[in-house]
């Protein structure tokens, strides 16, 4: 009976390990494919900037570079170097890279749609909000060296994420009346960022909502990648 129990436990352990291996492999493949897409996009946008010398392509290249750094940190690519294990990366850079991405995207948005000419007031608001987000990055960098402020940093991080989502929705509503071909692409992409970014944030706080779904639908970051 004891031998049977041991064999049964080993069988259960084997099934558990196989399921764990499948999930880890699926997650790794998902990250590799997505980082490859970002890398190709970065190369293309950078070459367009060299060819056209238009500043909005430089902003968009910075936007893609921030997210490429963020997702590379989350994969095993940088584990051998130990970069993604340093306190500066774990407790500062990995979050700030997401925020800095928006600091690059907002100027791209303004320049690409020429908001300064069509909607000068919105252009000023977006410029001011970008500086506000940059100020947050600087303040959080200072608080990083003060361990006792960690709860405050967490509250500020949640606040800036919610603020970015709310502000992005407000901007999309404001520019919805611009019926240009470029605007349709920008609206579709920006709306996807808002919706799926919010979904990823909700699922990261309440993972039980998706834990029974098949791979990769049970990973909160998958929705952010979408």
Say yes or no to pLDDT of 79 above 70: no
Sign of CA dihedral 66, 71, 74, 78: negative
Q: How far apart are CA 68 and CA 71, in angstroms?
A: 5
Please give the C-alpha separations between residue 1 and each of 9, 14, 94, 216, in angstroms, as whole numbers.
12, 20, 51, 39
Percent of the chain with pLDDT over 70: 83
Which stretch of 11-25, 60-74, 81-95, 170-184 has the lowest confidence by average pLDDT?
A: 11-25
**Once rounded to an integer, what is the mean pLDDT over residues 118-136?**
93
Q: Where is pLDDT greater, at 128 or 32? A: 128
User: For residue 208, what is the DSSP state?
Assistant: G
Angle at CA of residue 207, ends 38 and 140, nearest 5°: 60
Dihedral, CA atoms, 188, 194, 196, 199, nearest 10 degrees? -150
Residue 134's pLDDT band (cuts 50, 70, 90): very high
User: For residue 89, what is the DSSP state?
Assistant: I
Say yes or no to pLDDT of 221 above 90: no
Residue written as token pair 């291996």:
21
pLDDT, tens digit (0-9, with 9 covering 90-100), for 36-64: 899 999 999 999 999 988 899 999 999 99
**Once rounded to an integer, what is the mean pLDDT over residues 142-154?**
89
Residue 84's pLDDT band (cuts 50, 70, 90): low
Query: What DSSP string runs through 114-147?
Result: THHHH-HHHHHHHHHHHHHHHHHHHHHHHHTT-G
CB 41 within 8 A of CB 65: no
Q: How far apart are CA 197 and CA 49, in angstroms?
A: 28
Say yes or no to pLDDT of 1 above 50: no
């Amino acid at each position: 009976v004891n031998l049977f129990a041991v064999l049964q436990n080993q069988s259960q352990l084997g099934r558990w390990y196989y399921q764990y291996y499948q999930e880890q492999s699926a997650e790794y493949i998902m990250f590799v494919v997505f980082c490859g897409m970002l890398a190709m996009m970065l190369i293309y946008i950078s070459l367009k900037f060299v060819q056209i010398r238009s500043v909005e392509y430089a902003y968009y290249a910075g936007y893609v570079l921030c997210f490429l750094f963020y997702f590379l940190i989350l994969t095993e690519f940088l584990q051998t170097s130990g970069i993604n294990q340093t306190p500066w990366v774990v407790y500062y850079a990995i979050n700030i890279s997401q925020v800095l991405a928006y600091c690059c995207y907002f100027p791209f948005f303004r320049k690409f749609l020429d908001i300064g000419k069509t909607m000068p007031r919105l252009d000023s608001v977006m410029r001011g909000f970008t500086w506000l987000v940059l100020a947050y990055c600087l303040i959080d960098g200072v608080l990083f060296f003060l361990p006792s402020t960690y709860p405050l940093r967490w509250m500020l991080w949640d606040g800036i994420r919610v603020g970015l989502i709310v502000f992005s929705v407000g901007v999309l509503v404001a520019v919805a009346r611009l019926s240009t071909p470029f605007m349709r692409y920008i609206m579709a992409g920006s709306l996807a960022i808002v919706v799926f970014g919010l979904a990823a944030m909700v699922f990261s706080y309440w993972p039980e909502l998706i834990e029974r779904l098949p791979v990769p639908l049970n990973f909160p970051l998958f929705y952010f990648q979408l």
